[in-house]
Structure 1
Amino acid sequence: MPNPVIAVCVPVRNEQAVLPRLLRALLAQEAAPPFHACFFLDSCTDDSGAVIENTLGGSHLPWSVARSTAVRPSNAGAARRDALAIGLERVAGAPGALLLTTDADSMPAPDWVRAAAAALGAVEIAAGLIVRPGDARDAPQDRIEAYYDRLYRLRRRIDPVVWEPDEGHHFTGGANLAMRADGYAALGGCAPLPSGEDAALIDAAGRAGMRVRRARAMVVETSSRRIGRAPGGLAHDLRRADDGDETVVAHPEGAAWQYRAHAAARRAFARRASAATRSGFGRMIGLSGDHVLGVARDCPNAEAFAMRIVPACPAGERPVPLGVAEQALAVLERAPMEEAA
């Protein structure tokens, strides 16, 4: 198979101080298929555009820059959507084209493009691992992320899928995403949300029946800055940790209930012609067998069915301190496989 056409898409908002690190990382990609670098300057009032031109001008890397036509409030979703739109233009008509996206304050590993292309060989979207440079102040956030990694591993223990590795991770951040261009276009692009556009895109992909792989080999290092661009983003979380705020998360039993229901939904979809199967699964999640059948008819595959029909845990989310959640998760992790499933 020939190398796919690839566009790396980056939203930029007043990032002249950190852009050189990203640009050097893109120029240093090892054994990567050829790719086009696309930058959307989101109401920039600094010299970000000049930094890109001075660094990439005359380089081997094809690149494009577009600017917003008017100053607008910061909107991470709209900026990423605009950056990816440039990429879609560059790969238009190319079969098997891929879109990658990261942030201007991030630094992809030398094999990032190659790892992303490999991860997309069997899925529609790949969410890579996001790491930080090891600031000692980040220890509380590291602990939170380690908890969510454990919770995600429990998910795949209870609800395994063939395209997802057991050693996956929980990250779905825009600093490290790759997707098939046709799949992204079919989803209608990123929602113009002030933050969380990346998670919303992953959710939409699952509901459409697309396969999402958490690819640990696809690595991007992001900054530990405390002043960010998106409200409610990582910078906000790091500041809260610096202030000593108690970390509260949902008790993991609610997530485990959903994982069991997802696994049961996949089994029910495979046997959806059986009225007894539909009724039994419906009782588990509080729906009638007819409702189950109606949803199944609208779903292209078991992934879409599981993501659409399973509700939030009926008991609701129970906020608990992180330490309590970690202990409860340890109990779930020790449960025999047949008991967890």
Structure 2
Amino acid sequence: MPALTRLAISATPSLAFSSSKKCTAKLQILPSNLIKFPLNFNPPQTPKLSIKAKSSSSSNPSTVNDASASSAPDSLKSRLKNGETLYGIFLLSFSPTIAEIAGLAGYDFAVVDMEHGPGGITDALHCLRALSATRTPAILRLPESSPTWAKKALDLGPQGIMFPMIESPKMARKAVSYCRFPPEGIRGSAHTVVRASDYGIDEGYLSDYAEELLIMCQVETEEGAKKAEEISAVDGVDCVQMGPLDLSASMGYLWDPGHKKVREMMRVSEKGVLKGGAYLGGFAMPHDGPIDLKTRGYHMVSGTVDVGLFRSAAVDDVRKFKMSLIQGSDDEAEDGKDGDEKYWSE
């Protein structure tokens, strides 16, 4: 290693140099083996800022309010504890623009679906950032219930995580363990650098993460539906999400999710979830609308899917135009009448 240089400057103790006083500099060459660095160096801590907003009456300092407390929206778990019924949307397109529109539209939450959508972790991150800009809580649905997928998803910092195809209390306990750091679980730790902890800036992350994270287990097979109450009672499971499409397929009614036997199994499972103590979540269906779910005690209702919304709007738009071509002769006969009508702003 080459020798390092040290510049030693000696000068008068005056705060300003004058022309009558000299400043001398001595250059010393020190061997590299004499240079020692402290082993216990810690970077300076960045002080936390408390942002406060002044009231309209600036002359009264006692009326100053803490803006950080009032500006932060309530978490999903706190809203559920307050008895609210939350209405959300599933995002399969992985379009940040659609995610942003969904947030601005006023949905209480958005589920970024990595199970059936084409995107992965990187694509989900873009959607989470778009939702964060609209202050809309994001839930990530995993492709499978595994510690690796859970770890990568949780490091992004969603408010909720959804595990698919949970069929037993044992699987539910494993899912919860994927969300907890040791010794309570097996989640890998990189909390000093990941987005979930504001890249290490949030010093309270380790103290608060378990309380703030909404853990959802999806019951969507006949076997899981029969054990819904036991799954709901597992410590750490906050919400059980019913899956009517996969449930109907597992019962042999792939093309008929509204079949009587499927509906009966759904009702038994719903009652089991509520009895077990977890919140009840589910999808609205053509035969089972959002209000129907709310009436039966659902706490979280997903009313639509972004791809389905666009599909319906696009098909309807094309249909209207095609129908107008068929009815063109009738419209042409009334062209004279249209000319006499005034535009709304005239």
Q: TM-score range by the shorter chain?
A: under 0.3
What TM-score, normalized to structure 1? 0.24
Considering Cα pairs closer than 8 Å and 6+ residues apart, tell me whether 1 or 2 has the greater RCO.
1
Q: Which has the larger radius of gyration?
A: 2
Bigger fraction of residues in helix: 1
What TM-score, normalized to structure 2? 0.24
